[in-house]
Structure 1
């Protein structure tokens, strides 16, 4: 899942970015509302991590724009404001979740996993483990099991598999999968995605990833 972190505290932004990238997320950053507005049309964002107190205004002022033009993008507010009234105001404005600084990065990770599960179930509740025959993809524990044995994946391979596993019924376009792999500052080759797809197939089985010519890729073999 690709994230936009909107945070003007540079050390905190760097620490969170490093942590989340280490967990397989693609993270881009913005330090102001103006930078965030410029970044929004440039990618398919799975979630925004939004600070409220920004140099050029209140982060909540961004939410009406998101609701109008990016309704599929989830919002987790990260703020030092710890009053109940502030939390209510943020949630009433359309945020999906709220974390008060300082927070444990693992708690943020758990909230993001919950976002992925909701997105994958169309807003309903379902388990964090996707079972594809003898392949189990555990989104909550960041692990993959084949015939009960762990499959070792690189961060990029896991990021690619996770975006497909979070919405297994969907055909994922090439552009949407590239968004899950690379941020604004990353260099990509024209065949990079195909290389990662090939590596994943070797590890989890060629039949697990379908190619739909001209459309994209989809996971196959989900157990009812």
Structure 2
């Protein structure tokens, strides 16, 4: 699973450590030391993965992620020394696909890299049938979502969450199950990340986000995706 990977890390020792481990797994690696250089490199030669430190000079990692999410669905793995839940959720909300908190073990980082690259390769497999739940349609190959025929912009995390639930309409998923589909097992992240994705998705796919008819809460359990037409048509 050789890949082209850009590492944006201003700590020279950390950058060299990450480079060595990635090259040991036969990846080609470009290292940059600030956010502006990261944006330039990704735009010049789009990589298969961006390993992105949050604390970067010139343009910080959160801004880099926000800017890139307007341009590409490139997988982004964030490295962060910020351990507060709000900081981590902000990174996910801006479109990061996963994160590792410092200090981290190189083996853990490589496992996260392999997981993200596998997801990318799976997404590049031959077309799957369109997924339809009521008037919501999801195209796994083109990474497109429409509601009532209108396109909906989703971050990679939001798209994967919808994809999992659209493949099993009316099935109730716990937050833990959805989290595994999104990020795999992580001893740091909390299930509140799922609530953030759900809140953002409701703003995009629901007529009245505060009274959802598609992306439903099953109290004490989790969430499910339903066709929703009857509830929406009957809402006052």
TM-score tier, shorter chain, comes to 0.5 to 0.7
Whole-Å Cα distance in 1 between the matches of residues 23 and 88 of structure 2?
27
Return the TM-score normalized by structure 1: 0.52
Whole-Å Cα distance in 2 between the matches of residues 123 and 79 of structure 1?
29
Which among 19, 30, 44 is matched to residue 46 of structure 2?
Answer: 44
Return the TM-score normalized by structure 2: 0.50
> Given the superposition, is the C-alpha separation of residues 57 and 120 from structure 1 closer, same or farther in structure 2, using an over 3 Å criterion?
closer
Q: Show the counterpart of 1:115.
A: 116
Given that 2:51 and 2:77 are in contact with CA atoms closer than 8 Å, whether structure 1 keeps it comes out as yes
Q: Show the counterpart of 2:154.
A: none
**Alignment partner of 1:98 is 2:99:** yes
Q: Show the counterpart of 1:186.
A: none
Whole-Å Cα distance in 2 between the matches of residues 106 and 17 of structure 1?
13
Q: Show the counterpart of 1:5.
A: 7
Deviation for aligned residue 1:64: 2.6
Deviation for aligned residue 1:123: 8.4
Whole-Å Cα distance in 1 between the matches of residues 116 and 99 of structure 2?
12
Whole-Å Cα distance in 1 between the matches of residues 60 and 121 of structure 2?
30
Whole-Å Cα distance in 1 between the matches of residues 30 and 75 of structure 2?
15
Whole-Å Cα distance in 1 between the matches of residues 40 and 6 of structure 2?
12
Identify unmatched segments of 5+ residues in structure 1.
125-224
When the two chains are superposed, the root-mean-square deviation of aligned CA atoms in Å is 1.6
Secondary structure of residue in 1 paired with 2:70: helix
**Alignment partner of 1:16 is 2:18:** yes
Of stretches 93-102 and 35-44 in structure 1, the one that deviates more from structure 2 is 35-44
Secondary structure of residue in 2 paired with 1:69: coil
Whole-Å Cα distance in 2 between the matches of residues 15 and 117 of structure 1?
22
Secondary structure of residue in 2 paired with 1:21: helix
Q: Spell out structure 1 runs of 4+ moving beyond 6 A.
A: none
Whole-Å Cα distance in 2 between the matches of residues 120 and 45 of structure 1?
13
Secondary structure of residue in 2 paired with 1:48: strand
Structure 1 residues 48-105: Cα deviation after superposition (integer angstroms, max 9, x where no partner): 111111122421101232122222x100110111111111110011000010011011
Deviation for aligned residue 1:5: 0.5
Whole-Å Cα distance in 1 between the matches of residues 26 and 60 of structure 2?
29
Identify unmatched segments of 5+ residues in structure 2.
126-236
> Given the superposition, is the C-alpha separation of residues 108 and 83 from structure 1 closer, same or farther in structure 2, using an over 3 Å criterion?
same
Matches within 5 A, 1:193-212: none
Q: Show the counterpart of 1:67.
A: 69
Q: Show the counterpart of 1:25.
A: 27
**Relative contact order: is structure 1 or structure 2 higher (C-alpha 8 Å, sep ≥ 6)?**
1
Whole-Å Cα distance in 1 between the matches of residues 56 and 103 of structure 2?
17
Whole-Å Cα distance in 2 between the matches of residues 100 and 64 of structure 1?
19
Of stretches 62-71 and 101-110 in structure 1, the one that deviates more from structure 2 is 62-71
